[in-house]
Amino acid sequence: MVSAATRDRVLKAVSDTGYRPNVAARNLRARRSMMVLVVVPNLANPFYGEILRGIDDGLVEAGYGIIVGNLDRQTEREARYVDVALSGQVDGVLLLSGRVPVGSSGQTICDAGLPIVTVCASIPGLDATHIVIDDRAAAREVATHLLSLNHTRFGYLAGPASSINETHRRRGYLETIRAAGFSGNDIVILPGRYDIQAGVEAAEEWLRLAPRPTALFASCDAMALGFMKRVITAGCRIPDEVSIVGFDGIEFAELAEPTLTTVRQPRYRLGRAAANGLLARLRGEQGGNQSVRLEAKLCIGGTTGQAPVAAPAVSLVHP
Amino acid sequence: MVSAATRDRVLKAVSDTGYRPNVAARNLRARRSMMVLVVVPNLANPFYGEILRGIDDGLVEAGYGIIVGNLDRQTEREARYVDVALSGQVDGVLLLSGRVPVGSSGQTICDAGLPIVTVCASIPGLDATHIVIDDRAAAREVATHLLSLNHTRFGYLAGPASSINETHRRRGYLETIRAAGFSGNDIVILPGRYDIQAGVEAAEEWLRLAPRPTALFASCDAMALGFMKRVITAGCRIPDEVSIVGFDGIEFAELAEPTLTTVRQPRYRLGRAAANGLLARLRGEQGGNQSVRLEAKLCIGGTTGQAPVAAPAVSLVHP
DNA sequence: TTGAAAGCGCTAACAC
DNA sequence: GTGTTAGCGCTTTCAA
């Protein structure tokens, strides 16, 4: 609402002086920062890279920038990001970590009163938008697939106990196997922590077992790939001696030989949905506790096959 | 420099009122933001994830946060981050992209007058600290390794022409092969762009060649792994029919079967060095144009082996 | 030591 | 339409 003449005069002055608005001043005055904090458990895992891409694409369009808070799997690092939120450096928070970050003096990131969206891990009781897939149903599908291949001894390569995803995946897997008539004796649970090395260590444990489970569900691809590499190195054939299923659907799962059977999460779309959910809350359009569920899909690769028949063959000889 | 009594009174008031300093106001007054912009070519490539970890660890200790600028391989996206720098949102810039970002109205990110550090790609003529490895020497080492295995037909899977790394790697590889007496006829150059899919496409091209090069140097691991998967799918044996070398040393290179021979870059340390270099510049301790060079190492895996001997055997029959 | 005041650069509100 | 002003919350400077 200015005359054309004035506008031109202003625009000319802008380009003459090379004027640039100062963002700190604007933020101070407007009481917002146009920044969003994204708390990531482990930047080194490419699973998060792709989600981050979706988040970035969604937020940048709306003029928001992202501040990355990498926990590097260390809970102690949460405090830093609680401070970032509490000191007004960001307008909203995106939690990929499945936990509410806790500060050094007992406050949580919720005390900042900022809009929060969680991705890939709904946190019970948290007033936030939760962008999720159905971990439990996906894990059931994994178990059903392995049962259909006549496996009778099952392994589960777990994530960290603190992870809510871990809980759901384990439950879905175990309940389906039990429902098929198997007992705890038919199931071996190997501890893990969602990284490659954990998969390697679990493989070493598995190699020492007798009898070995013939089917292994690793609760993330990084672990599945580490496991796979280690057992191949030990001379095992996949899927002849052991069937392996991962979870996440990272690109490298497709590059494994054989291609890893895995649950593919729509990572980019999860990121976009998270950005949209947060933008809606930032605009005040939404509040309360709600969930958006995206589809995950079991992708059958070459790492799963019929259970080996060695044992039954022996029993036929001695009826 | 206040009396103990006053200090206590202040501290009590702080905890009573739940006082938190406002960062925007502090930044406005202090004319700094305690934020650093990190420009990344492609967040989806785990190569950058690990460098980012090193950067984050180095900067967070000094109280700086990072704003991630993902280009997603699209040069047009640079403009956004030029604005971020120009509008004073950050105190320094870390460039992983090997290019000086250019804004929409012709300015570059340098016009912000901020300290700049480049990582993994020194940009000629730029007043910055350059954290690099010797791409050319590493590529020479790759060629020497392949020559020592008696290969005589060589492939090179290139990166994008705009990349300075691409230039160095190609030069080092080709000059070494030429110095060994081979000509352009013995070398096939396949176009690529530093992602998995480019590796797959190059493999399809390679499968159509006759005669095929028996040695392939892919200028990044993601491409090498994509290439490898595709040729294995087509029934080729590695390294019996083709030797493959990658570049970068991402974790997944070690998980490939056979393990990928590759040049391992010290990614985390590159990130730390970049953080340190930027902190030094931010403190005004350093200026001008300087380089820090870290060691990259050729790690021999199972994807390289003696050149197949079929052709020489034929020529012995008809001397 | 402590208190008071100026001002960073912007935007919203108001008077002209 | 246009020009002026107050104040966001902090830090620095200067006076008491």
| Mean pLDDT along residues B142-164 | 96
The reply to whether A252 touches chain B by the CB within 8 Å rule is yes
The 10s digit of each residue's pLDDT in B194-241 is 999 999 999 999 999 999 999 999 999 999 999 999 999 999 999 999
Omega within 30 of 0 (cis) for the link into B213: no
pLDDT at residue A313, as a whole number: 42
CB B154 within 8 A of CB B139: no
pLDDT at residue B319, as a whole number: 40
A33, A80, A229 ranked by CB distance to B255: nearest: A229
The 10s digit of each residue's pLDDT in A28-58 is 999 999 999 999 998 888 899 999 999 999 9
pLDDT at residue B73, as a whole number: 86
pLDDT at residue B40, as a whole number: 94
pLDDT at residue A106, as a whole number: 87
Structure token pair of residue B91: 């105190």
- Residues close to nucleic acid strand D (C-beta < 7 A): A 1-3, 5-6, 25, 28-29, 31; B 19-22, 25-26, 28-30
Is residue B38 pLDDT above 80, yes or no? yes
Nearest nucleotide over every DNA/RNA strand to the B29 CA, judged by C1': C8
| Mean pLDDT along residues A259-268 | 98
Q: Nearest-CA residue to the C1' of D11?
A: B29
Q: Strands B261-264, B297-299: parallel, antiparallel or unpaired by DSSP? A: antiparallel
Residues 28-87 of B with CB under 8 A from A: 28, 33, 35, 43-46, 48-50, 52-53, 56-57, 60, 65-68, 70, 72, 80, 84, 86-87
For residue A80, list chain B residues with Cβ-Cβ distance below 8 A.
Answer: 60
Average pLDDT of the residues of chain A: 92
CB spacing of A24 vs B22 below 8 angstroms: no
The reply to whether A108 touches chain B by the CB within 8 Å rule is no
CB spacing of B66 vs A65 below 8 angstroms: no
Residue of B37, B45, B53, B68 to mutate for A, most A C-beta atoms under 10 A: B68
| Mean pLDDT along residues A67-85 | 91
DSSP-derived letter for residue B219 is S
Chain A residue closest in CA terms to B56: A70
CB spacing of B22 vs A84 below 8 angstroms: no
CB spacing of B255 vs A228 below 8 angstroms: yes
Contacts of B82 (CB under 8 A, 6+ apart): B101, B102, B103, B104, B107, B108, B109, B111, B112
The 10s digit of each residue's pLDDT in B52-102 is 999 999 999 899 999 999 998 888 999 999 999 988 899 999 999 988 999
| Mean pLDDT along residues B129-151 | 97
Is residue A301 pLDDT above 80, yes or no? yes
- More confident site: B17 or A222: A222
Rounded, the Å distance between the CA of B268 and C1' of D14 is: 48
Chain B nearest-CA distance from A90, in A, is: 10
- Interface A-B: count of C-beta contacts within 8 A: 124
What's the Cα-to-Cα distance from A264 to each of A227, A291, A302, B47, B297, rounded to whole Å?
Answer: 18, 20, 15, 22, 34
For residue B65, list chain A residues with Cβ-Cβ distance below 8 A.
Answer: 67, 84, 89
CA A25 to chain CA centroid, Å, is 37
| Mean pLDDT along residues A310-315 | 47
Q: Is the pTM of this model over 0.85?
A: yes
CA distance B104 to A50: 27
Rounded, the Å distance between the CA of A114 and C1' of C14 is: 32
Question: Which bases along strand D come within 7 Å of a protein CB atom?
Answer: 1-3, 7-12
Chain B nearest-CA distance from A67, in A, is: 5
Structure token pair of residue B36: 């650093």
Residue of B252, B260, B267, B270 to mutate for A, most A C-beta atoms under 10 A: B252
Chain B nearest-CA distance from A22, in A, is: 6
Structure token pair of residue B206: 């390679």
Contacts of B146 (CB under 8 A, 6+ apart): B154, B215, B217, B243, B245, B304
CB A74 within 8 A of CB A16: no
CB A194 within 8 A of CB A219: yes
pLDDT at residue A315, as a whole number: 42
For residue B104, list chain A residues with Cβ-Cβ distance below 8 A.
Answer: none
Rounded, the Å distance between the CA of B68 and C1' of C15 is: 45
Is residue A270 pLDDT above 50, yes or no? yes
SS (H, E, C) chain A: CCCHHHHHHHHHHHHHHCCCCCHHHHHHHHCCCCEEEEEECCCCCHHHHHHHHHHHHHHHHCCCEEEEEECCCCHHHHHHHHHHHHCCCCCEEEECCCCCCECCCCCEHHHHCCCEEEECCCCCCCCCEEEECCHHHHHHHHHHHHHHCCCCCEEEECCCCCCHHHHHHHHHHHHHHHHCCCCHHHEEEECCCCCHHHHHHHHHHHHHCCCCCCEEEECCHHHHHHHHHHHHHCCCCCCCCCEEEEEECCHHHHHCCCCCEEEECCHHHHHHHHHHHHHHHHCCCCCCCEEEECCCEEECCCCCCCCCCHHHHHHHHCC
CA distance B33 to B191: 42
Rounded, the Å distance between the CA of B33 and C1' of D7 is: 22
Q: Which band of pLDDT confidence, cut at 50, 70 and 90, is reported for residue A310?
A: low
Is residue B316 pLDDT above 50, yes or no? no
Is residue B139 pLDDT above 90, yes or no? yes
Chain B nearest-CA distance from A241, in A, is: 17
The 10s digit of each residue's pLDDT in A231-254 is 999 999 999 999 999 999 999 999
The reply to whether A223 touches chain B by the CB within 8 Å rule is no
Question: Which bases along strand C come within 7 Å of a protein CB atom?
Answer: 1-3, 7-12
Q: Which band of pLDDT confidence, cut at 50, 70 and 90, is reported for residue B177?
A: very high
CB A160 within 8 A of CB A194: yes
Q: Nearest-CA residue to the C1' of D9?
A: B25
Chain B nearest-CA distance from A231, in A, is: 11
pLDDT at residue B310, as a whole number: 63
The reply to whether B96 touches chain A by the CB within 8 Å rule is no
